[in-house]
Structure formats: C-alpha cells, structure tokens
Amino acid sequence: MYERIQGLKLKGYGKRRVARETDISRGTVDKYWDMTEDEYIQCLIESKTRTKILDPYRVFIKTEIETHREITGSIIHDHLLEKHPELDVSARTVREYVAVLREELGLPTVVNIRQYQEVAELPPGMQAQVDMGEKVMRDFFGKVQKVYIFAMVMSHSRKKFVCFQDHKFNADEFVVAHDLAFRYFGGRTMEIAYDQDRVMSVSENAGDLILTETFAAYSRYAGFSIHLCRKSDPQSKGKIEAVIKYVKNNFLSCREYPGISRLNSDGLAWLERTANAKKHDTTKMVPNRVFMEEIKPVSIAIDARLPIKYSVVRTQVRPLSVYDSAAKGGVSV
C-alpha cells in the first residue's frame, strides 16, 4: 500500500486521484503521503508491538475462527457485542483484526456472504414481505435440530422481525407469527407479499390460489391485502428473501442451538443490536431510524389536487390466546 501511494505520487498524481485509483481512504493516503521509507518501517514495527483494542478478546476470536471456518468478521462483531455489551468497537475494526488473525493462523475465509439484494423501492407503509425458511443447527451435545424461520420486513425502511419454531408452521401458527410481528412493529402495512406456500394455500384452480380458511379470515379481519408472488421471485419479494438469507448466514450461523425459547429471545436482541441497528447496504440508512418516519402518515402528491396517503396502520393486538378458529370468526384485533 505504501509503495503504491508513493509510486503514484512520483507520477504526479494528486492525493484525491491516488485515493480513487487505489480504493484507499483519503485519510490513509494523507498519513503515508510525506512519510519516508525509514519512517514507514518504524511505523510497521510499532504497529506490531502496539496493544490493540481487541487483543483481550483474541482467544475468543481465534476460537470462533477455528471452530467455524466460514464465520465472517460481521458475525464475530455481533457475537462480541452479544457476549460483551460493554465493548465499544466498530464492525470495520473487527473485520480488519479478523483478517490479520486469519492470515497469522493460515485460515482464509471460506465464503463471502452477501446480505442484501437490490430491488425496487416502495412508498412508506405500503408493503411488507413475509417468507419462511429453515436451518439445521447443533446443540451443545452435537445433536442436530432443524429450526423453522418466520420473517417479515418493511419494504420501505427494511426493519425486520423474525421468530423461530422447532417444527413446521401450520396455518394457526402462521397467524400467531403475524400477530407477533404486528406487535413488534406497532402496526401493519396496507399489503403483504407472500410466496405461494402450502401454509397459505390448499390448491390451485386455473391459476387462482385458494387460501386456507384460517388465514383468509385473519387477513380480512386484520385489514391487509395479500399479494401472491411466484416462488423465489427476486423482482417481487427479493427483500424478504435477502432477509431469510441474512438470518441464516448471520444470526443462526456459527451458533449453538440453545432451545427454542432462548433462540427467540436472542433473536429479538439481535434484531435491536444488529439487524435493525446497522446501516443497510442498499438504502445506506439505518432501518430503526427510517422506521420512525415510516410509522407516521406520509403524503405523496402525484397531483396537487389528488394527494395519496400511505401509512402504517397501528393496531392493538390482544393476547395471542384469544385467537379462535376461522369458524368462530377469526382473530380479535
């Protein structure tokens, strides 16, 4: 890096152009711009002996890398904050520390996980997306446990909700998961997008999907419309597919199965600590911050005489035990 900066400087490049050509930050270019070779060597020696903020956690990080070869710096950062909430360190600092440690250990990263996919934007409060997934985990004794995932994401703010079961969701449990999500968000959107999943449908008739009575009654009573998508269609519901991948590859990855109750509790903490608190790769915004604007009515004037209102509609959901079957009239809200 030092040689590249100095080489381009000799060619007459300015600092800004060097930073752009080498993809090195302007601050780093400034640091090495007037540094002599002897000064650079001394800087290297000092960096080797200088105590780093993560050195006290070196054993923990080393164990994580050796135990889970596929683990990323972002996951280790989340695990550090989970185990040591008092630690004030950026994700970038952890990634750089992990990269150096991997080189020392001779354990390069196995995979490079991309968390998000870019898809079309929608107005605030217009749509949420729902999907389900599954992940095989192992408990403390090495026993295999399959975990089933329910996730909902606000299409505008990207604020996420997730919950887990140790068995497949049926129609009643699918409704309960929606209640939990609406309670977490404090309301619902006008529309929710879904895959044509068997939890929601019992058959197809000339291309028209027939919903289960349970979920059809619930959607009518809760007051949201249903948008059905083709399976694995990133154009219509890529946001939630990216969230499912993110849950699998970040929260559930490199984690022992602690029991379903503890997993749900840890999942809620992860949402607030990481998933909804970090800047989104596509929007470059923090979901929790954007959501504070999304839950308020937003006017989008296509025509000054015809303003169109979009908002997240707040609902008060009674305890989940009040849910009756569709034959008894659906859920009470």
Mean pLDDT of 182-210: 75
189 shares a domain with 237: yes
Main-chain phi, psi angles of 245, to 5 degrees: -65, -40
| 315 pLDDT more than 50 | no
85 and 146 part of one domain:
no
What residues form DSSP beta bridges with 160?
Answer: 153
Percentage of residues of the chain with pLDDT beyond 90: 33
| Per-residue pLDDT, 38 | 86
Q: pLDDT-derived band of residue 45, with 50, 70 and 90 as boundaries?
A: confident
Residue 119 lies in a domain: no
pLDDT tens, residue by residue, 102-129: 888 888 876 554 444 444 577 888 899 9
pLDDT at 202: 63
**How many structural domains does the chain have?**
3
Instruction: Give the global pTM.
Output: 0.67
Q: pLDDT tens-digit profile of 277-300?
A: 998 888 788 999 998 876 654 333
Q: State which residues form the domain around 13.
A: 1-50
Give per-residue pLDDT as tens, 211-225. Answer: 788 888 898 888 899
Q: Residue 123: its pLDDT value, please?
A: 82
* Highest mean pLDDT of the ranges 67-76, 144-153, 192-201: 144-153
Residues 260, 307, single domain; the answer is yes
Lowest mean pLDDT among 67-76, 188-197, 230-239: 230-239
Domain identity same for 28 and 176: no
C-alpha 148/C-alpha 136 separation (Å) is: 9
Burial bucket for residue 15 (CB in 10 Å: 0-12, 13-18, 19+): middle
Report if residue 121 sits inside a domain: no
pLDDT in tens, 16-36: 888 888 877 788 888 889 888
Separation CA 1–CA 49 (nearest Å): 20
95 and 225 assigned to the same domain = no
Residue 235 above 70 pLDDT? Answer: no
- Whether residues 168 and 266 fall in one domain: yes
| Residue 117 resides in a domain | no
Are residue 82 and residue 203 in the same domain, yes or no?
no
The CA distance from 98 to 100, in Å, is 5
pLDDT at residue 43 in the model: 80
Specify whether 180 is located in the same domain as 271. Answer: yes
pLDDT at 97: 87
Query: What is the structure's pLDDT at 173?
Result: 92
- Residues 159-194: tens digit of each pLDDT: 999 999 999 998 889 999 999 999 999 888 899 998
Is residue 211, in this structure, part of any structural domain at all? yes
Tell me how far apart the alpha carbons of residues 118 and 121 are, in angstroms, rounded to a whole number.
Answer: 9
Indicate whether 118 belongs to any domain: no
- State whether 174 and 316 are in the same domain: yes
Residues 153 and 302 in one domain: yes
Quick one: 164 and 84 in the same domain?
no
> Is residue 169 assigned to a domain?
yes
Average pLDDT over residues 245-259: 94
Residues 100 and 246 occupy one common structural domain: no
